[in-house]
Structure 1
């Protein structure tokens, strides 16, 4: 007869650096959000809850900590979907703190970001303005001395703040006005000292717990993480929590025990390593690396992906979420997976006492929100092969269709990586698709239609037809099945046109009468 598991023990106090001192907040539950702690425990009601889903940006706060490489890292995070205990040992600011923190210059005056919004009439009703302030505050902290704030930088920083009832122009003007003055930075030396003091008080979550089941465990080493995963497989596994915490805020679930992978140093790194043969190279992205860090690494090797990554969520989600979490949650509309499938990525699944097992990413998914991850395993790394020295890299293209340009969920996404031989034939091709099946999928039939064929209209049209036959998408609130199927073909056609394709028919001007009918006729799949 099995001994019933003991209930999780209460977590120790939450340690934060706040307003120039280290604070301990007792009694924080493992499933309590940072927003709840800030508002209800610390009385910082200036930070707001709007959507409770990380979309509107009203809840945005600034968080600083020491990154794995030892640098001071600033992030704008959605406090409504951030577990409070995930910022254990970090420094936190809300808009209310900018005039009251001795680490910041100003002697009680408005912070320059706040003053700029007032001066340029960018302040709103007060519900969403605090989040806008904090997004721009992080931008200002990251800005090098003498560097201007461009419109593009401002748009990127504000991509997670969707409610702008004063209009976009005054807010962007306020952001660009920061160029006229040096960054109003926090005292880095004092901040580092406080972070180290907080780390010493916070202790090591990897310590042994005897027979007790800790309510919140965030191991710092892979060995400790795998040991905890084997011992407490019932614990909810989280990384950034940008998807998982929606169970708490939208579905009103409760979690008794949490295993947080985000502090595991070995899983936070992005490295270039040799493959098993020793002859090839792999880009290895740790499952705890943030989306921001992972995208920077992928973009460094495949620059053509930059516009696609800009459409992936808003900046607070990219600062808080992880690539490993996006892959592991198994959503058929996860934006990273079609690209990773096209790049021949694989996942490494680790468990205590055995070597990591590796699966091609497309084989990791078993059904809707179901993966091959065993109860005692964690997703440790995502690995993508890099071209051998002297080998030309494949061309890469990725497309996302959604109702809103930024910070929106895909209706359809398509990614393709291909290489042509000297004769112009397709020597290598991989296609990943999202939003058209129960899982992120590889378009094998479309690949077969292109492989070995000249990169011309006939082969591309054959692949378009194969794409439309290969998947049976659903109709939902984002798009109909017919639209999704048509767009799969259209996105492949767009890729071909953008990379040297010259159709047999005449070009189409969309400002001509009946242009839509001509466009449909020109892109219709031929029998």
Structure 2
């Protein structure tokens, strides 16, 4: 109002206040809403994710970049293994949080890049009778959600490892990073300051590894890390999945992070 006082109409459906000329304006306020399909109307402060992008069919990609770089994005494990057989020195990309730094700041050259983000078999999350199976391309944010589900549904004695990993993920980078960073990428980077790799070992986790011919072998987490940024992966092999057994009775796993600041 022109008087400078707050509007005292008090009705959320009717706007009744004075304009600068002293006239009274009465207008009906109709809140708008949106659906998950039609995002043209909304009543939230933040815009929703574009429905057209959510409904778009995801297709395999083969792109060519500057300097002869080739980028592949297969959707099936068989297609990924064929590419690994054809390009044994190809670099696998998930969240690109490590490879992007190497290419931009360390001048690393990777002529063949294969994105594994859309391979169905690598995005599996299964709650089994004896533990939890996690695909290597599962995003850290999705891992957080399944861990919370497990902790509410399973006996507390069985979820000590899950609880420790869930608590550690709270301090693992920001939400945007966790939305793209993968479980397998963090493991295979084998960073000495990894927040999760010590927990995989403490939780008696097992890693399933598959080669370009489809042969699968299992390695305990404690034996997978060979040294500084070195892991037990031969040429043409990839990390397929991670298996966490349920904690045993009187078995306790606890996370602890010591740093100048808790958040990455």
Shared fold, TM over 0.5:
yes
Q: Is the 8 A contact 2:165 2:196 kept in 1?
A: no
The normalised TM-score by structure 1 is 0.37
- Superposition deviation, residue 396 in structure 1: 2.2
Report the Cα distance in structure 2 between the residues aligned to 1:257 and 1:234, rounded to whole angstroms: 8
**Counterpart of 1:287?**
136
1:383 — aligned with what? 243
Matches within 5 A, 1:441-452: none
- On the 8 A contact 1:262/1:288 being kept in 2, the answer is yes
Contact 2:89 2:236 in 1 (8 A): no
Normalising by the residue count of structure 2, what TM-score does the alignment of the two structures yield? Answer: 0.71
Match of 2:48 among 174, 182, 186: 186
Aligned-residue offset at 1:186: 3.3
C-alpha separation in 1, matches of 2:49 and 2:192? 44
Number of aligned pairs? 212
Structure 2 partner of 1:419: none
Deviation, 1:214, is 7.9
- Contact 1:287–1:325 (CA under 8 A) maintained in structure 2: yes
CA distance in structure 2 between the partners assigned to 1:237 and 1:270 by the alignment: 20
Query: RMSD of the TM alignment (CA)?
Result: 2.7
> 1:332 Cα shift?
1.4
Cα distance in 1 for residues equivalent to 2:97 and 2:40: 29
Q: Structure 2 matches for 1:124-203, cutoff 5 A?
A: 182-186=44-48, 189-193=51-55, 195-196=56-57, 199=58, 203=59
User: Is 2:262 the counterpart of 1:262?
Assistant: no
Counterparts of 2:119 and 2:76 in 1: how far apart (Å)? 5
Whichever structure has more helix as a proportion of its residues is 1
**C-alpha contact 1:104 1:185 (8 A) present in aligned 2:** no
Q: What's the secondary structure of 1:317's corresponding residue? A: helix
Residues 195-232 of structure 1, C-alpha deviations (whole Å, 9 max, x = no match):
23xx4xxx4349xxxxxx98111111111111211210
1:310 Cα offset (Å): 1.0
CA distance in 2, matches of 1:317, 1:336: 15
- How much has 1:394 moved relative to structure 2? 2.9
Q: Give a deviation string over 1:397-433, Cα, whole Å, max 9, x none.
A: 11001111212xxxxxxxxxxxxxxxxxxxxxxxxxx
Q: 2:185 aligns with which of 325, 338, 353?
A: 325
Within 2, Cα distance between the matches of 1:189 and 1:317?
A: 22
Q: Would the aligned equivalents of 2:93 and 2:116 in 1 still touch at CA under 8 Å?
A: yes
Q: Distance in 1 between matches of 2:49 and 2:180?
A: 24
Whole-Å Cα distance in 2 between the matches of residues 271 and 403 of structure 1?
36
> 1:296 maps to which residue?
145
Given the alignment of the two structures, is residue 356 of structure 1 paired with residue 216 of structure 2, yes or no? Answer: yes
Residues 357-436 of structure 1: pairs in structure 2 closer than 5 A? 357-387=217-247, 392=249, 394-407=251-264
What displacement does 1:306 show?
A: 3.8
Please report how far the alpha carbon of residue 318 of structure 1 lies from its aligned counterpart in structure 2 after TM superposition. Answer: 0.8
- Aligned residues of 1:103 and 1:191 also touching (Cα < 8 A): no
Q: 2:30 corresponds to which residue?
A: none
| Alpha-carbon distance in 1 for matches of 2:186, 2:106 | 19
Unaligned 5+ segments in structure 2 are: 1-35, 63-67, 152-158
Contact 1:205/1:219 (8 A) holds in 2:
yes
| 1:97-136 to 2 correspondences below 5 Å | 105=41
Would the aligned equivalents of 1:305 and 1:396 in 2 still touch at CA under 8 Å? no
Is 1:204 paired with 2:50? no
Alpha-carbon contact 1:270-1:285 (below 8 Å) kept: yes
**1: CA distance, partners of 2:147 / 2:49:** 33
The 1:263/1:192 distance shift into structure 2, 3 A limit, reads closer
Tell me, in whole angstroms, the C-alpha distance in 2 between the residues paired with 1:325 and 1:393. 32
Secondary structure of 1:400's match? coil
